[in-house]
A = this chain, B = another copy of it.
Amino acid sequence: MKKIHIIGLGLLGGSFALGLKKKRPDLILSGHDNNPDHVAQAKELGLITLHKERPDPDTDVVVLATPVDTLSDLVQQTLDGTGSKTLVMDFGSTKAEVCNKTAQHPKRQNYLAVHPIAGTEHSGPKAAFEQLLDGKVLIICEMEKTDVHLKAMAYELFEILNMKLRFMDPLEHDLHLAFVSHLSHATSFMLGRTVLEKMKDEKNIFDMAGSGFASTVRLSKSSPAMWAPIFLENKKNLIEAMDAYIHHMKQFRDKISTDDYTGLYKEMEEANKIREILDLEKRD
């Protein structure tokens, strides 16, 4: 393995590059981004050594880290433009659409569908950092459809980056991610929106916001260009999650409205169980 090409030089693509470069300075990292500023920044920050619009024919691995609505076409174009020894993988946050659209491609075995569970509320090449992927979970979908030798190359990269592999069906992936990731982005965006609307004339009020508000509203700073496509691509599952959530919010509101202390207490006791589960994760 010698040549890696990364398309999309933002937080995720850039952090992937930095993490690899640290452990394997011998690898040749090239890449491209549709935004010329991002290309310039990526070179300046050393995310890539070479800017190339397309991967060389002898590239070992092409990584696609662009917004999810671009990925289905980009996976197919990249498979069309590279040889039989090149592995193409995408880092998208939804997996059903891209797996489905790529299913019939003659070079399906050259494609690996993955999703690194890592990110921050920041975006762009400047947001990238070496440790983003370190110790994080990486979900792989339909691993049985990828050529075993090409897959071994991908596993080597994930091993270098110290990632924990998990295997999952793409439909199951999208359903679960709607609940444990996409929903919390929606709730946070709308928390930010609601509070800003109310406080628009008195911004000094945020002085009164503590670390709890900062934590809950953090994802409200996330990139619309990244998240609008995710929300739309995972529409069916996300709407199920949002409807369940809005229902719970309404019930909680009504319990407050009717002074139902016991009911509120029980709801919060149920919600407290998240503590055991998240603390369990920490031990992993």
- CB-CB under 8 A from A181, the residues of chain B are 208-210, 212-213
Q: Nearest Cβ distance between residue A273 and chain B, in whole angstroms?
A: 6
Answer whether residue A139 sits at the interface, using C-beta atoms and an 8 A cutoff. Answer: yes
Copy tally for this chain in the complex stands at 2
Closest residue of chain B to A193 (Cβ to Cβ) is B271
Assess whether B231 is in contact with A256, with CB atoms less than 8 Å apart. Answer: yes
Assess whether A271 is in contact with B189, with CB atoms less than 8 Å apart. Answer: yes
Answer whether residue A137 sits at the interface, using C-beta atoms and an 8 A cutoff. Answer: yes
- CB-CB under 8 A from A248, the residues of chain B are 190, 193-194, 197
* Known contacts A179-B199, A241-B198; A220 and B186 CB within 8 A of each other: no
14 more contacts with CB within 8 A, not counting A176-B199, A194-B245, A224-B269, are A180-B195, A181-B210, A184-B212, A190-B252, A192-B273, A193-B248, A196-B274, A203-B280, A216-B216, A221-B278, A235-B259, A238-B256, A239-B256, A242-B256
Closest residue of chain B to A275 (Cβ to Cβ) is B221
- State which of B194, B219, B269 has its C-beta within 8 Å of the C-beta of A179: B194
Most B C-beta atoms less than 10 A away, residue of A186, A199, A235, A280: A186
